[in-house]
A and B are shown apart, each in its own frame.
Chain A
Amino acid sequence: MNFKERFVTAINHKEADRVPIMGLIVDTATSCKVLGKQPANILDLLKEEGPKDDLLAMLNTPEVWNQTYIDIVSDNLEAAAKLGYDANWAIYTLLQLHEDKSTKVGFVWHDPYGRVWEISEDNNGNSIINYAGGLCGTKEKWRAKMEENKALFEVLPDYAREFHCALQQRFGDRIYPVGYAAPGVFENSWQPMGFAEFTSLLYQDADFAREIIAFHTEHYLRHMDAVLDAGAEVVLGGDDLGQKTGPMLRPAMIEEFFGESYRKVAARVHERGAKLIWHSCGNINALLELFVDWGFDGIITMEPTAQMDVAQVRQQVGHNLALIGNLDVSHLLVKGTREEVEQAVEQAIAGAAEGGGFVLSAAHSHSLIDPQRLQWMVEAGKKYGKYPLVR
């Protein structure tokens, strides 16, 4: 059985030869360590003396961006394959560099949805980007931004399609790059405005909130189509719907505003004969029934630091959802002992892998995750994950 058959079999709730193992992004710092590569830092270019017009023009040419971006994600996939994973996330993004004197670096990235991403450096000297707020704090600003980027929204699905096809071609014989349409409709709705601002809209101007959600749903369906065009049997979608102690919004409110949108996305994926796995950080125990109802086929992450427990989730949803997770990234995969890692893997498998429907994974990625611990996770996954499971 190869990596792809193993992964797809598990998602279909059948027992493969063993529990598959999947990467959740695999951060650039971790990838560099695995591949023995030097950190890559765009800040070096930006800090050089002299005018930046040429650099900006070059990086903001979609062809240059797309090529550079494919190479970055290829490193993540390369590292994931080297770690022995069966699959890894593959997310397409389009960013454009803008001068912004108010930031430390003097430049920020903008995405087409109206987010601002600041540039900084991780603990290993890689440049990283972080969502730092939005450009669409008011109705007028939101409408103007969507109008301004109209042409971009037209071509984005094409870029995404090319990206996913290129990765399938590069990695199709070594690891399964699972296409992920991101960001999701919830995040695209609130992040370009701010959470407080968007929440106020839900109460004070529900019609406009619905206009935003409908706009992003339409675009998201096209994005998802592009991912599916690359020939995927399983696709990823996602939105952080949870925080440390529970859902970001009252579940009934999520259903009221976003239920229809999520149902449409799941239906589209199913029409095309594929399965939809949903990523959300935080505590989402109170949303599990909704996920099933919307038609999601699985969930990925189940953050232990937010009291998510795979065995408990399995008990709650049975085999209505495939479960992908959930090794802790706050301690375990940073400085846990080998025994601790093994024990966590053994426990997760014992709690959720009977009858298939389980894929082993870290609960997120960040720059301090240690490749050695990931290696231990893979080894333990192979040891405890052989089917039939030993009880």
Chain B
Amino acid sequence: MAHDLKEKLKEALLDLNNDATLDYVQQFLAADEMTAKQAVDSIAEALEIVGRRFQEGDWFLGELVYAGTIAKEAMDVLTPALTADDARANCGTVVVGTIEGDMHDLGKSIFINYARSAGFDVIDLGVDVPAETFLEAVNEHEPLAVGMCCLLTPAAGGVGRVVELITERDLRARTKIIIGGAAMTQAFADEIGADAYAPDAVTGTDIIRGWVG
């Protein structure tokens, strides 16, 4: 039964069926022999498949975004039902924002959605974020990673500045830096000394997962 329901939940999400997904989530919560954590795992598995389909060009941005929206709704229902142990078992904190001068927010939001579904605690700094604000957030939250989104060439200097600030404060051992968005490339990441560049949100999530403990 547990296995069955897990598969059904996964399929509902992969069919982009919002009502069915939420319905199965309720069934999880109502059944004694199952936990909210199992439902969360199912959702994470489904999102991984969604991400792969997008990477391979079988699915399009709208589908990636809508799957993320459904997953978020399901997580909103499930989160209060997670046990304290499950909730504490998150993979770590990640600070994410779009760099100053850049207001593009779709890519950042998708990355955040996927990172959260993968179990990360994400601090969303929003768009148009000054380098100093990234540094303040790193000091305050002591994150595992900082993720910066940048689509505009004129804003790219700010991304380099954040790397400089974090490096100057000797925080690189604790906090890794990952970048993404249209103006970012692997070559640029190498040039400014970021730890990683991700061409898409799913790769980005895989990379930060690799940095956990």
Taking Cβ atoms with an 8 Å cutoff, the residues of A that contact B are 118, 120, 122-123, 130-132, 195-196, 199-200, 202-204, 243-251, 253, 305-306, 329-331, 334, 366-368
A334 to B128, CA, bound (A): 22
**A246-B57, A248-B61, A253-B62 known; A368 and B154 CB under 8 Å?**
yes
Instruction: Contacts A203-B16, A334-B153, A366-B152 given; indicate if A247 touches B69 (C-beta within 8 A).
Output: no
Are the CB atoms of A329 and B101 closer together than 8 Å? no
User: When the two chains form their complex, are residues B18 and A203 in contact, meaning their CB atoms are under 8 A apart?
Assistant: yes
B38-94 interface (Cβ within 8 A of A): 57, 59-63, 65-66, 68-69
Q: Is the CB of A243 within 8 A of B62?
A: no
User: With A130-B103, A196-B68, A248-B61 known to touch, is A329 a contact of B18 (CB < 8 Å)?
Assistant: no
Interchain nearest-CB distance for B71 vs A (Å):
12
Q: Does B182 contact A (CB under 8 A)?
A: yes
Q: Are A196 and B128 in contact, CB atoms less than 8 angstroms apart?
A: no
Contact A329 B62 (CB under 8 A): no
Can you give 20 contacting A-B residue pairs, CB < 8 Å? A118-B103, A118-B128, A120-B101, A122-B101, A122-B154, A123-B154, A131-B103, A132-B103, A132-B127, A195-B65, A196-B68, A196-B69, A199-B65, A200-B69, A202-B62, A248-B60, A250-B60, A330-B183, A334-B153, A368-B154
List chain B residues, Cβ under 8 A from A196: 65-66, 68-69, 109
How distant is the Cα of A253 from the Cα of B182 in the complex, in angstroms? 24
**B183 A199 Cβ-Cβ under 8 A:** no
Asked if A250 and B63 make an inter-chain contact with CB atoms under 8 angstroms apart, the answer reads yes
Given contacts A243-B61, A247-B60, contact A195 B106 (CB under 8 A): yes
**Is B7 an interface position by the 8 A CB rule?**
no
B65 and A366 contacting across the interface, CB-CB below 8 Å: no
Q: CA A330 – CA B188 in complex, angstroms? A: 11
Contacts of A366 in B (CB 8 A): 152-154
Contact residues in A for B62 (Cβ distance below 8 Å): 199, 202, 248-250, 253
Please, how many angstroms separate the alpha-carbon atoms of A202 and B101 in the complex? Answer: 31
Separation of A331 and B18 alpha carbons in the complex (Å): 42
Q: Please report the C-alpha to C-alpha distance between residue A250 and residue B57 in the assembled complex, in whole angstroms.
A: 10
B200 CB-CB contact with A under 8 Å: yes
Annotate B146-158 by CB proximity to A: 1 below 8 A, 0 otherwise.
Answer: 0000001110000
Tell me the bound Cα distance from A331 to B16 in angstroms.
39
Report yes or no: B154 in contact with A246, Cβ–Cβ below 8 A: no
Known: A130-B103, A131-B103, A306-B182. A249 touches B61 (CB 8 A): yes
> When the two chains form their complex, are residues B69 and A199 in contact, meaning their CB atoms are under 8 A apart?
yes
The smallest beta-carbon distance between A244 and chain B, in angstroms, is 5
Q: Which residue of A lies closest to B180 (CB)?
A: A244
Closest to B17 in A: A203
A109 to B59 Cα, complex, angstroms: 35
User: B109 contacts which chain A residues (CB < 8 A)?
Assistant: 196
Q: How far is the CB of A170 from chain B (nearest CB, A)?
A: 29
B-side residues, CB < 8 A to A, are: 16, 18, 57, 59-63, 65-66, 68-69, 101, 103, 106, 109, 127-128, 152-154, 182-183, 199-200
Main secondary structure of the interface of A (DSSP, over half): mixed
Q: Which residues of B contact A330 (CB under 8 A)?
A: 153, 182-183
C-alpha spacing A195/B153, complex, angstroms? 23
The reply to whether B103 and A245 form a contact with Cβ atoms under 8 Å apart is: no
A331 CB to nearest chain B CB (Å): 8
CA distance A120 to B127 in the complex (A): 13
Q: Which residues of A contact B61 (CB under 8 A)?
A: 243, 246-249
Complex Cα spacing A137 to B106, Å: 15
What are the nearest 6 A-B pairs in CB distance? A249-B62, A130-B103, A368-B154, A250-B60, A199-B62, A330-B153
Q: Identify 20 new A-B residue pairs, CB closer than 8 A, beyond the known A120-B101, A249-B62.
A: A118-B103, A122-B101, A122-B154, A130-B103, A132-B127, A195-B106, A199-B69, A202-B62, A203-B16, A203-B66, A243-B106, A246-B60, A248-B62, A249-B60, A249-B61, A250-B63, A330-B153, A334-B153, A366-B154, A368-B154
Contacts of A249 in B (CB 8 A): 60-62
Find chain A residues with CB under 8 A from B153 CB: 329-331, 334, 366, 368
Closest partner residue, chain B, to A27 (CB atom):
B154
Q: Which residues of A contact B65 (CB under 8 A)?
A: 195-196, 199
Interface contact B57-A245, CB-CB below 8 Å: yes
Q: Specify which chain B residues have a CB less than 8 angstroms from the CB of A305 in the assembled complex.
A: 182-183
B154 partner residues in chain A, CB cutoff 8 A: 122-123, 366-368
By beta carbon, the residue of chain B nearest A122 is: B154
Q: With A and B bound together, what is the CA distance between A36 and B59 in angstroms?
A: 48
Instruction: Identify the closest chain A residue to B152 (Cβ).
Output: A366
User: Nearest-CB distance from A161 to chain B (Å)?
Assistant: 31
Give Cα A130 to B152, complex, Å.
12
Residues of B within 8 A of A118 (CB): 103, 128
Q: How far is the CA of A271 from the CA of B109 in the complex (A)?
A: 42
CB nearest to B64 among chain A residues:
A199
A122 vs B59: C-alpha distance when bound (angstroms): 36
Alpha-carbon separation in the docked complex, A250 to B61 (Å): 8
Q: Kindly list chain A residues whose C-beta atoms are within 8 Å of the C-beta of B101.
A: 120, 122-123
Give A289 Cβ to nearest chain B Cβ, in Å.
Answer: 16
Which residues of chain B have C-beta atoms less than 8 A from A248's C-beta? 60-62
C-alpha spacing A302/B23, complex, angstroms: 44
User: Which residues of chain B have C-beta atoms less than 8 A from A253's C-beta?
Assistant: 60, 62
